[in-house]
């Protein structure tokens, strides 16, 4: 009887979903039906039949400590009973105030002001508007934003403008603003990137408002790792010329690369840092744009036209802020040990996998491991969907970026479960490649 009820519920959900829901990054004509998930705990998802699916990608890179972590769930419950939402213009509340203070305490020194938004894209939009208006408020019309090849900063228009031109942005190309593009820093040891920035500073330095980068890891662009040395060189050049550096740590923040922030690997402090994804431990949407004090001060004036006219209805939502505070508390020494253990397992198991002739360019950065499937190209390469379907059938959630296979698990994953992810990938390679 229970099985019949479960089947009926699953079929009902599937029918309503097919009739009413538009899923992200999904071609509904060809994609298989989405998997209805009933609950989750730790590193595992469970469908309505009770089947376990190991979440090897942290549910799109957001789940830090594991699903349904009791400490974060308790913080959310307690806050929801007290204050669920209030306008953040003209009002404030303890969860946001405490979170801002606690964030500044763990941020690279010098980042002192927190502007809350809703997600990664909106944190980038806020950063870009801050950078452009900062110069205008200081009496200069600097309009040029500089970005990297193969970058990805989000799907809103400013974020798309600074992202690489390609499949994701092509339909909107005529609506995107001009960006000066530096060569991919993962190539030529970053030398071409540094040289291009030097040349751009010589030619258009007076127009430049900011350089935006994903520190050390170009995420959606293919999990491409670049060096701390290159990042330090870019920071030095921007600092010497007074150009703002925006670090998009939406993916890399909160321990993904080892330390709490990727900028720490290079020992640099940007002028603006964008945060989201793991900020709430994966429980609720929340973004934060954190800036140096002089940037904030450029907006302080008796002239209201110098105000940053930007905000969101759910800015600093109290429940999301409570979740973020609980998540921050969990980023302790124990968490650091778990992250180190994940990296060790990556190194051992990816080392074994790298002997396969189809595996190219294996790479690891903290809790992220990735490789390319040789002789394959592009985000639309069907090998990615083939591997995802194979892995799901084996009880593992993977979502390759075309021919780029990556593993980015919650910090709570066991060595055995992480090893199982690699075993499933190995089975696929043996069967298909």
Q: Which residue positions in the chain have pLDDT lower than 50?
A: 1
Chain segment 89-105, per-residue pLDDT in tens: 999 999 999 999 999 99
* Beta-bridge partners for 248: 274
At residue 340, the pLDDT reads 98
At residue 7, the pLDDT reads 77
Rounded Cα distance, 53 and 391, in Å = 9
Rounded Cα distance, 399 and 54, in Å = 12
Q: What is the topology classification, in CATH, of domain 71-330?
A: 3.40.640
Residues 6+ apart with CB under 8 A from 349: 418, 419, 422
Rounded Cα distance, 202 and 243, in Å = 13
Question: What's the pTM?
Answer: 0.97
Query: Which amino acids are annotated catalytic?
Result: 25, 152, 248, 277
At residue 423, the pLDDT reads 98
At residue 3, the pLDDT reads 62
Q: Where are the domains of the chain?
A: 35-64+332-432, 71-330
* Beta-bridge partners for 306: none
Rounded Cα distance, 246 and 211, in Å = 6
Q: Are strands 359-365 and 368-373 parallel, antiparallel or unpaired?
A: antiparallel
- Provide the edge-to-edge strand list for the sheet that holds 244-248: 111-117, 287-292, 272-275, 244-248, 208-213, 144-148, 179-182
Which of 280, 128, 127, 274 shows the shortest CA–CA distance to 214? Answer: 274
Provide DSSP, 66-92: -BT-HHHHHHHHHHHTT-----SSS--
Q: What is the topology classification, in CATH, of domain 35-64+332-432?
A: 3.90.1150
């Amino acid at each position: 009887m229970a099985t019949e009820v479960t089947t009926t519920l699953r079929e009902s959900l599937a029918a309503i979903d097919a009739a009413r829901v538009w899923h992200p990054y999904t071609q509904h004509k060809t994609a298989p039906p989405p998997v209805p998930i009933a609950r989750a705990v730790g590193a595992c998802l469970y469908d309505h039949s009770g089947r376990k699916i190991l979440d090897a990608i942290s549910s799109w890179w957001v789940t830090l400590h594991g699903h349904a972590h009791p400490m974060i769930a308790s913080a959310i419950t307690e806050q929801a009973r007290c204050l669920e939402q209030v306008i953040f213009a003209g009002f404030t509340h303890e969860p946001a105030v405490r979170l801002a203070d606690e964030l500044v305490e763990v941020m690279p020194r010098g980042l002192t002001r927190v502007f809350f938004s809703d997600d990664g894209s909106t944190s980038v939009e806020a950063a870009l508007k801050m950078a452009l208006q900062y110069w205008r408020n200081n009496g200069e019309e600097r309009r040029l934003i500089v970005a990297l090849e193969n970058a990805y900063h989000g799907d809103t228009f400013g974020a798309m403008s600074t992202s690489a031109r390609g499949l994701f942005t092509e339909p909107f190309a005529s609506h995107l603003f001009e960006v000066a593009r530096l060569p991919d820093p993962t190539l030529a040891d970053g030398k071409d990137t540094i040289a291009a920035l030097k040349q751009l500073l010589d030619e258009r330095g007076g127009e430049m408002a900011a350089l935006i980068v994903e520190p050390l890891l170009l995420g959606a662009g293919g999990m491409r790792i670049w060096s701390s040395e290159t990042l330090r060189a870019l920071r030095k050049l921007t600092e010497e010329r007074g150009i703002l550096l925006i670090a998009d740590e939406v993916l890399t923040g909160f321990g993904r690369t080892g330390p709490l922030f990727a900028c720490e690997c290079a020992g640099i402090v940007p002028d603006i840092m964008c945060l989201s994804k793991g900020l709430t431990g994966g429980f609720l949407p929340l973004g934060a744009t954190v800036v140096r004090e002089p940037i904030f001060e450029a907006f302080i004036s008796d002239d209201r036209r110098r105000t940053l006219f930007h905000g969101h209805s759910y800015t600093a939502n109290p429940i999301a802020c409570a979740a973020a505070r609980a998540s921050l508390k969990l980023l302790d020494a124990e968490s650091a040990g778990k992250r180190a253990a994940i990296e060790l397992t990556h190194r051992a198991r990816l080392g074994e996998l790298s002997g396969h002739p189809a595996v190219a360019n294996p790479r690891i950065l903290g809790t992220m491991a990735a490789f390319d499937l040789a002789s394959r190209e592009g985000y639309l390469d069907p090998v990615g969907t083939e591997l995802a379907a194979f892995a799901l059938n084996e009880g593992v959630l993977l979502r390759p970026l075309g021919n780029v296979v990556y593993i980015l698990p919650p910090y709570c994953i066991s060595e055995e479960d992480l090893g199982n992810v690699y075993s499933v990938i190995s089975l696929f390679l043996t069967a298909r490649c």
